[in-house]
Amino acid sequence: MNIQPQFMRFPDEFWWGSAWSAEQAEGRGNTGKGRTQWDMSWDKYPHRFYQGINTDTTTDFFYRYRDDIELMKQTGHNSFRLSISWARLFPDGIGEVCQEAVEFYRAMLSEMNAKGIKPFANLYHFDMPEAMMQLGGWENRDVVAAYVHFCDTCFQEFGDLVFHWFTFNEPLGPVLGGYMEDFHYPNVIDFKRGVQVGFNTILASALAVKAFKRHPLQSKIGIILNLSPTYPRSENPRDKEAAEYADLFYNRSFLDPSVRGTFPPKLVATLHEHDLIPEFTEQDLNDIRENTVQILGLNYYEPRRVKARTSSFSHDAPFMPEWYFESYIMPGRKFNPHRGWEIYEQGIYDLCIDIRDNYGNIEAFISENSMGVANEERFIRDGQVHDDYRIGFIQNHLAYLHQAITDGCNIKGYHLWTFIDCWSWINAYKNRYGLIRLDLKTQQRTIKKSGEFYQALSQQNGFYFNGLYVDF
């Protein structure tokens, strides 16, 4: 697809903004926040965190939110996604709500509203309270009930201040990281338990939607999924079959139940074949069917390219979806070496078209996109990070997004990852994603060149696309 140079104007009221999460940005604060799985992980594996940085301070948003919301304005935000910390509201995961925490979030959300920034509130971003993790985390149905109680409390306490709600960010993340690929607590390798975690989070999301509908609110509730359009190496039927399996496990597994209320039959059959079906009741399936999302957040970073397996998998090894496919590295691809992710702008278009054609063109927005780059101080000139690569990345993706909207996709906004450089799980502050640079020693914030670009983009509700940027 060849997109011509032109001024790309976006629809009126388009949401320009960015996203981050409580655990990654707030710091501990002084409300008596409970410990989370990240503290547990830190106790056990401090060496796994880049430069040994934990969540004590992060970007210190708890204490600096007033100034930071001013910076949101200066960088063109008309909307912003944060998450509400379950462990801050309920230090033990359940019980009495912490009033100081309620006051903190009310003050912060009020400040955003006062500055004309629409708050998008997400209710789970990889941050299980320790007390809940000790019960087995998402493997335990009591934890699902505690989460729904937390969500219900949020709708009650903050319903007048939140523009749109989201039940989960990337629910695939805890399954991959915690049960398959060893990068999140509890660092288990057990796909069957991972499937139970996946099912229980889908159920938790549906039950949160059900609870939401009991509140008389104008806002909508959705989910944020990380979706990588999946491309086979070739038209060979074996390659295409490999791509179909990868797509089922990593995209349709959460997309179908969230939007359609059902699971893909071929995925269910495959799980049956390997004795991987989770425990559930008929009532669970009803709840999932009847409480689908009203809006969809699309996190797009990279495509997934696969080919038919060229070697057989050891059937003595634990089951993994890769029994059905192998990753494929496409010659000549663009690539972000800091994160190891391919850059493929047309993927954002293909993803939107899939949602248009196969998911009823549900109201959606890009909820995360951008590139993380290490050692950005290399690009400081006159005190500012000159991140032309990030501007190029954003423009390239927006050009394809604009085309998707022109072709009828129901896309309402574009949020970047992220606002100010923030802590990113085991990568901590290695790869910087912000529109604003964070000096870790002083906590000083400095708007990058991309932050100035973003301000102009939002103000003009568009930008002049000069052709694809290629110098990554």
Which residues are designated catalytic? 170, 368
Q: Closer CB to ligand BGP, residue 98 or residue 180?
A: 180
Q: Which of 387, 394, 363, 439 is nearest to 14 (CA)?
A: 363
Over its C-alpha atoms, the chain yields an Rg (Å, rounded) of: 21
CA–CA distance, 215 with 458 (Å, rounded to integer): 33
Q: Closer CB to ligand BGP, residue 178 or residue 372?
A: 372
Can you tell me which of 80, 124, 163, 417 binds ligand BGP, judged by CB under 6 A?
A: 417
Instruction: Indicate the burial class of 388 (C-beta count within 10 angstroms; 0-12, 13-18, 19 or more).
Output: middle
Binding span for ligand BGP by CB under 6 A among 259-267, 354-362, 402-410, 423-431? 423-431
Can you tell me which of 31, 85, 169, 455 binds ligand BGP, judged by CB under 6 A?
A: 169
Binding span for ligand BGP by CB under 6 A among 72-80, 252-260, 280-288, 421-429? 421-429
Per CB under 6 A, 425 contacts ligand BGP? yes
* 97-98-101 Cα angle (round to 5): 120
CB of 330 to ligand BGP, least distance (A): 21
Per CB under 6 A, 26 contacts ligand BGP? no
CA–CA distance, 349 with 320 (Å, rounded to integer): 29
Q: Closer CB to ligand BGP, residue 299 or residue 410?
A: 299
Q: Which of 401, 472, 411, 461 is nearest to 3 (CA)?
A: 401
**193: CB partners within 8 A, 6+ apart:** 139, 179
Size of the site for ligand BGP (CB under 6 A): 13
Binding span for ligand BGP by CB under 6 A among 140-148, 190-198, 425-433, 453-461? 425-433
Can you tell me which of 153, 361, 427, 443 binds ligand BGP, judged by CB under 6 A?
A: 427
Q: Closer CB to ligand BGP, residue 261 or residue 303?
A: 303
Per CB under 6 A, 455 contacts ligand BGP? no
CB of 309 to ligand BGP, least distance (A): 27
Interaction residues for ligand BGP, span 29-88 (CB under 6 A): none
CA–CA distance, 194 with 174 (Å, rounded to integer): 8
Can you tell me which of 83, 122, 226, 455 binds ligand BGP, judged by CB under 6 A?
A: 226
CB of 339 to ligand BGP, least distance (A): 5
Q: Closer CB to ligand BGP, residue 291 or residue 431?
A: 431
Per CB under 6 A, 424 contacts ligand BGP? yes
CB 419 within 8 A of CB 72: yes
CB of 464 to ligand BGP, least distance (A): 29
Q: Closer CB to ligand BGP, residue 157 or residue 368?
A: 368
364 forms beta bridges with 296, 411
Can you tell me which of 170, 287, 302, 342 binds ligand BGP, judged by CB under 6 A?
A: 170
CA–CA distance, 111 with 3 (Å, rounded to integer): 40
Q: Closer CB to ligand BGP, residue 18 or residue 200?
A: 18
Q: Closer CB to ligand BGP, residue 21 or residue 294?
A: 21
Binding span for ligand BGP by CB under 6 A among 50-58, 342-350, 395-403, 417-425? 417-425
Using CB under 6 A as the criterion, what x/- string covers residues 285-314 for binding ligand BGP?
--------------x---------------
CB 39 within 8 A of CB 55: yes
CB atoms within 10 A of CB 233: 20
Per CB under 6 A, 372 contacts ligand BGP? yes
CB of 250 to ligand BGP, least distance (A): 13
CB of 274 to ligand BGP, least distance (A): 27
Q: Closer CB to ligand BGP, residue 427 or residue 460?
A: 427
Q: Which residue is nearest to ligand BGP (CB)?
A: 424
Binding site for ligand BGP (CB under 6 A): 21, 169-170, 226, 299, 339, 368, 372, 417, 424-425, 427, 431
